Chain A
Amino acid sequence: MLLKGYRLAIQHVMFIVLMYGGRFGVNLGPAVPCFACPYVTGCGGYCYLMGLQGYIGFGISLGHFWGFEGLRALGYLLLFAGLVMLLGKAWCGFACPFGLISDWITLARRRLGIPEAKIPPAALRRLGAVKYALLGFCAAGPILVNLGVLHRDFYIPFCQMLCPGKPLLPLFAGETRHFALDLTNAATLVITASSLAVTGACLAAMIARPRFFCTFCPMLALIHLLKPITPLALRKNPALCHGCGTCQRVCGMDVERVCTEKASADVQTGDCVNCGDCVAGCAADGALSLQFAGRTVVSSSAGLALGLRKPRP
């Protein structure tokens, strides 16, 4: 329970930093590994997905690649990798402003007693692959624009068309313009219609299912690709697992492996957002833990689950 409280507090602090930090001089740079949306005026950092699409879409010629432009783009990639190494998927579970919005909606749903929608595990596995397709789309879309296959207005296709953060996050800065349908030309109509339809559908789905969009989030996919260099990880001691299924049940992403794994310590799947809910809910001492470079940050505790003990170090 304590871990959940800490996490909620950290999420709120990061929400303020990433959404409003720019107004106070905070700038975490253009390679933030979560939905720090550049469409929010005064944001404290920029989501790397926009930059990634920009570098691919705006184009870096071969001649300039080895110069300043290329170095800068490479620098941003290294900055992104560095930030991922720092917090890993905790960017998703502890820092992402859009993730916090999802969690708010989930809290409200639970208070109202609205049942959660369950997706069968097999279907969930298939849906999980969509995030990699969207990541590919982030790369391919701008290239199609450069080739002239797509209208120039599609220059940042994922952000403009598919990211529900684009209309929703600026709302918290008082900006409603991204909820407008743009009838200027066919391309803008398609772009804005797509964005608004996806946002509306996502909102409804987020009510029914916690962290709905994270299943499809290309940022999660990108961070997961860097898993080999990420020190922060969810680890399991299978010898201490009772198999009660609590971890899987409380998991917002319905990760099965955290319960069913009996041999390996690595249970951080592609869908895991490192929220730590499984660690908080697990009633077996030491069965699950969040570790940084092999050192335990927080681990499960039977007493903790029942409010009897402090979190284990």
Chain B
Amino acid sequence: MSLVLLLLLALPAAGAPPPAKLEEANKLYEASRFAEAASAYERLLAQSPHSAVLHYNLGNARFRQGAPGSFGKAIASYLRAFRLDPRDADVRTNLDFSLRRAGDELVPAGMPPALFAVYNVLSASELAAFFWAAFWAACLLGSAVLLAPRLKALKGLALGAAALGLAAGGWWGLRASSGFKAPAVVILQDAEVRSGPGENFPVSFKVPEGRRVERLDAKGGWQEIGVPREGLKGWILKPALEAVD
């Protein structure tokens, strides 16, 4: 148990990128050397994959890069940053701005923005962490009460932790079952989507760069995708997509 706690406490230091390296990459960005800045952010992300700041900065560098596919990749980076830190206003702003350029929108139609903000105030990881923390607390407190009847006073705390765990688990489950389950972003301008996995199938529709799609099935070099907003489905070449995992 102690070992587990020590391990978890030791993790925060491993999540943050070195400030000097981050500053170095930012200087490249500010000098309009966006391609080099993007490479620098990618190198830092290899060491700190859970850094929302790095994903966000990488999104900015890709957005300004202006190379083919970089706009779609920018949205993919912003989505990763949003997944890690949905409370960051800059991340939300840049993601929403980019999605609107791609004909999409961050807040689903008909949903009040305030409700969307509350619904996404915690990331999926944070919700999962809350659930598991409450689960651990409920189990440990419950065990203590069972093993030592004189600690009966802890019973209320155990029940409270269990209720908190149920609430976090329900929220987590709701988030996992709604929206994109296996999202990807189109990184090709007017990418052709065919009715089957091959060039011999006709083009059903085209998707602009930067649109979010749902990954469904895969076959060879082809990926089946769904576009929930328009209710469309078809097959696209895998290199035309960047998965947001």
Q: Do A and B bind each other?
A: no
A residues near B (Cβ < 8 Å) are none
